[in-house]
Amino acid sequence: MSNTEEKNKMPSGIETFLTNLKHLPQSFKDATVRHGPPSSNRAASQSVFSNLFLHIHSVRTHRYNFKKTFTMGLGIASAASFVILAITGILLMIYYKPSLAEAYNSIKDIHFAVPGGRLIRNIHRWGAHIMVAGVFLHMVRVFMTGSYRHPRQFNWVVGMILFAVTLGLSFTGYLLPWDQLAYWATTIGAQIAGSPVEITDALGITHIIDIGGLQMRLLLGADIVGEEALVRFYFLHCILLPLVLTTFIGVHFWRIRKDGGMSRPSVITEEMLEGTPIDENAEMAFPTKNKTYGLMCLVKGDSNNVKNSVKNTVQSWPNLFNYEMAIFILVLAILIVLSYVSDAPLKEAANPAVPENPAKAPWYFLGLQELVSYSAFMGGVAIPGLAVLGLMLIPFLDKTRNESGLWFPDKNEKSVFKSTVIFSSIVILATLVFTVNFGWLRNWFPQIPQLIIVLINPGTIITGLFVWWSIRILKNTGSTRLGAMAVFTCFLVGFVILTYFAYQHRGPNWDFYWWPSLWPAH
């Protein structure tokens, strides 16, 4: 009797199971998120550092980072466009077929038959434009605000790698539709990779070491642009380069934190922080000049974060995340509007017998195409290589510890910027006008050796004058920062003017025309 009573008091297995089932949503939530809703500062902090995807952010964000005229959200916009590109790219892979016979038709199917296919493809194409522009402008912002300085030198280098990989992704992407633009752009790109042959030929050592041929064959998988090239570009575009980009984006973001957050001036007035979110609690916090972390005692050395106080910071949740989501939504909205307004181009199917006339690259490669029209090796390999290398090394050659995080903190920077814009514009325009009107060495001396053309052409003359100007600024001002300002401004102006010129004023046979409507019919 008493035995059964005891048995009745004990919950049966079924009952326990039912109770557990009833509490399932709550216990699942407790296991997933180990803190309450982010209503208090403590819970908001926990939300950030206990979440894999959020913890790359700091728990608190400096108010200066929210200053709209400082970063303009360009880095976040670039990352947002990459996320959108990854999503639309994965979707496009469902229908795209990487073979000579099917590639062009599968793009046509995506564009005309697949539900929503045209929108997805347009967003992917426009996203590429926005990403290239975003990365480029982000680089301009970082340079102009001096944010590459100690301790952020390495992150500037990572940024340059991201810039190069972004351009690589874009280039490998427009081969895939296998239309006329794709075929001829790839032909030209592969030949540029092979252009060191100009130098080895001139030196007569091509049969010993053929660097150009090796690079070209590695890219194309053959001597001609065909099936092998398409498969290789598909692999580069969909697997290798996105993997590299994602990895380096991770390093880039992680380094922002390790380098002590984003750059900011040493003295920040309340005026500069106008329009940014504020957290009164932060002002009441005790000074933490000497704070150390428990684990830090095991590690020798200084951390950039240790010196940071919580003064002028706000909770990252929700302030920073709202800001990031707003930029993401803005980028997405812009892409969708652009995609409705204008379709991604698709030319006629690739025809290896007849190139387009003119055969123009996308806008961000047009400046290079203009340089390449003077000399393949100089314009396609040497000058851009020198530019990227020079930009990469800036933080190691300019070690001045001036203010970071301000646009033009002193008058000298502004005046060097202005005079360099004027100088470099005059140099480029004069060279272009001269070349268009009078031609170049080959027009006057038809028998001139190729090596002289490679060494002396409008591209190398512009580059030489830029270097001369920057050294002059460096010498006259005695400031490496101003020298770097001159180099960077020359690069910027060169990029803008050459791109504009090739876009607007180059027509069939790469001849000069004032306006595309003046192009002869053919």
Sign for the CA dihedral angle at 99, 105, 108, 114 comes to negative
Q: Which region, left, alpha or beta, applies to residue 221 given φ > 0 means left and ψ of -120 to 50 means alpha?
A: left
Which of 70, 82, 158, 198 binds other proteins (CB under 8 A)? It is 198
Residues 54, 47 contacting (CB under 8 angstroms) = yes
Which of 92, 130, 376, 416 binds other proteins (CB under 8 A)? It is 376
Give the integer Cα–Cα distance in Å for 490 and 33: 52
Give the integer Cα–Cα distance in Å for 59 and 42: 10
Is 510 near other proteins (CB under 8 A)?
A: yes
SS3 assignment for 241-296: HHHHHHHHHHHHHHHHHHCCCCCCCCCCCHHHHCCCCCCHHHHHCCCCCCCCCCHH
Is 318 near other proteins (CB under 8 A)?
A: no
Nearer to other proteins, 38 or 221 (CB): 221
Range in contact with other proteins (rule: CB under 8 A) among 50-58, 102-110, 213-221, 383-391? 213-221
Range in contact with other proteins (rule: CB under 8 A) among 117-125, 144-152, 266-274, 373-381? 373-381
User: What residues between 240 and 279 interact with other proteins by CB under 8 A?
Assistant: none
Range in contact with other proteins (rule: CB under 8 A) among 21-29, 168-176, 283-291, 437-445? 437-445
Range in contact with other proteins (rule: CB under 8 A) among 87-95, 109-117, 153-161, 506-514? 506-514
Give the integer Cα–Cα distance in Å for 238 and 246: 12
Give the integer Cα–Cα distance in Å for 310 and 252: 23
CB of 443 to other proteins, least distance (A): 5
Which of 23, 442, 455, 468 binds other proteins (CB under 8 A)? It is 442
Give the integer Cα–Cα distance in Å for 298 and 82: 39
Is 118 near other proteins (CB under 8 A)?
A: no
Binding mask 455-494 for other proteins (x = CB under 8 A): --x-------------------------------------
Is 425 near other proteins (CB under 8 A)?
A: no
Is 359 near other proteins (CB under 8 A)?
A: yes
Which of 72, 95, 118, 201 binds other proteins (CB under 8 A)? It is 201
Residues sharing a CB contact under 8 Å with residue 368, sequence separation 6 or more, in sequence order:
361, 379, 380, 384
What is the per-residue burial (b if ≥16 Cβ within 10 Å, else e) of 417-434? beebeebbeebbeebbee
Is 218 near other proteins (CB under 8 A)?
A: yes
CB of 364 to other proteins, least distance (A): 18
Nearer to other proteins, 262 or 376 (CB): 376
Nearer to other proteins, 355 or 464 (CB): 355
Range in contact with other proteins (rule: CB under 8 A) among 256-264, 341-349, 451-459, 464-472? 451-459
- Tell me how far apart the terminal alpha carbons of the chain are, to the nearest angstrom: 107
Three-state DSSP state, 447: coil
Provide the strand spans (E) within 268-373: 313-315
Is 356 near other proteins (CB under 8 A)?
A: yes
Is 224 near other proteins (CB under 8 A)?
A: yes
Is 192 near other proteins (CB under 8 A)?
A: yes
Residues sharing a CB contact under 8 Å with residue 226, sequence separation 6 or more, in sequence order:
100, 220
CB of 45 to other proteins, least distance (A): 40
Q: Match 């992150």 to its residue by tokens.
A: 155
Is 420 near other proteins (CB under 8 A)?
A: no
Contacts with other proteins by CB under 8 A lie at 184, 187-188, 190-192, 195, 198, 201, 214, 217-218, 221-224, 226-228, 352-359, 369, 372-376, 379, 439-440, 442-443, 446, 450, 453-454, 457, 508-511
